[in-house]
A and B are shown apart, each in its own frame.
Chain A
Amino acid sequence: MSKRMELYSGNELVAEAAIAAGCRFFGGYPITPSSEIAERMSKFLPQVGGRFIQMEDEIASMGAIIGASLAGEKSMTATSGPGFSLKQENLGFAMIAEVPCVIVNVMRGGPSTGLPTAPSQSDVMQARWGTHGDHPVIALAPSYMREIFDETVRAFNLAEKYRMPVILLLDEVIAHLHEGVALPESDEIEIVNRKKPTVSREEYEPYADTKDHVPPMANFFEGYRYHVTGLSHNPKGLPSTDFEVVHAIQVRRQKKITEHLDDILKWEERSMEDAEIAIIAYGSIGRSATDAVEHLRAEGVKIGLFRPLTLWPFPEKRVAEIARQVKRIFVPEMNLGQLVLEVERMAKGDAEVIGINQVGGVMIRPREIVSRVKEVA
């Protein structure tokens, strides 16, 4: 049973969901259009015995949530473009040290200060490759209100399950939009917690390979006294420059993703069964695309929608299948062409891939997608 409908903004829902998912630590730094998340967390966290801190900058907030997570708390930070850039180095630390945490990036127009109050989807590639070095990434991009809630919870669950940071990408449109939404009761929410070691301290290897490639994680102060470092390390956690050790551990970190794609990937499809044209869209533009597909279907166009909720890892296999099925794929995004590059890579020429791009801080509306589709047809 869901609770009765209530009015929420996307940002407010992130905070609600985080607390429902068990988040008890938030470190942040104010930035439009994400600040409401921090504001709400500062109010509600202490009510459930959690802790909020406004750090001196985004680098520090990223550091603080990693520290809190190592100490055993589910933790989160929220930011936007400039702040997301500042977080990148410590985000990489969370990846190499395998520390669960959630980073919300409410995308605004960039680069630099860009368009602080206007929507964009131009951090999609930054979410994948923003920090240096090879690293696995999970990034989620919900479109609807209830989805924002569910995907925030899923972000925490994936972070805990795979021992890594998870990025939640919103954009200014859905972050500030207020809509009625029915939230689940707390007993309906599935919550995943990090796997704990069952062996003794002497036997414990915090970075060893395991069947699922996710080694159990001891929290600080639980008697395991292990070492956490951003240097390449051996299974014990101590620095290593041994070629084989470093290579193996890098490959294992990738496998956390590549061997659990079925669990991590999530998307919605509409009218794809007999589609000859496809639209691939996400976030707020996923909503425009849904309307566009309905409109075009009503006019008899054999068009379908593929709306990924998991952007990273990219749903490569399914997109390749779609490319073999349809003759043309449209990819509307509020950037100058980012996810479209992945679509092209997977289409391998099987379908024509056409981007619909707009970066002035105005949402791509359904009719713009409709007219572009008709234009090409």
Chain B
Amino acid sequence: MVTAEVAAKPKVKKEPPVVDVIFENCKGCNICVDVCPTNVLVLIKVPNKWEGYIAEVKYPEKCTRCMLCEIECPDFAIKVY
């Protein structure tokens, strides 16, 4: 017997991208900010870190999952899910 619930398969909705900066690894070099074509990232001041900066995901909704920031980050500090 096929129940109504099983028959009505939920539509596979694509998860929105999640961009994550790993605080401990980020050295604030600004490379990810530069390579992102849709300006998702910005650099913010944080004291007591390498150069005093870290990348922040300011406009996650603009991310197109191009992966450029993740590929070009020299520090294993950024992940795009």
User: Would A and B touch once assembled, by the CB under 8 A criterion?
Assistant: no
A residues apposed to B, CB below 8 Å = none
Please give the residue numbers on chain B whose beta carbons come within 8 Å of chain A beta carbons, in ascending order.
none
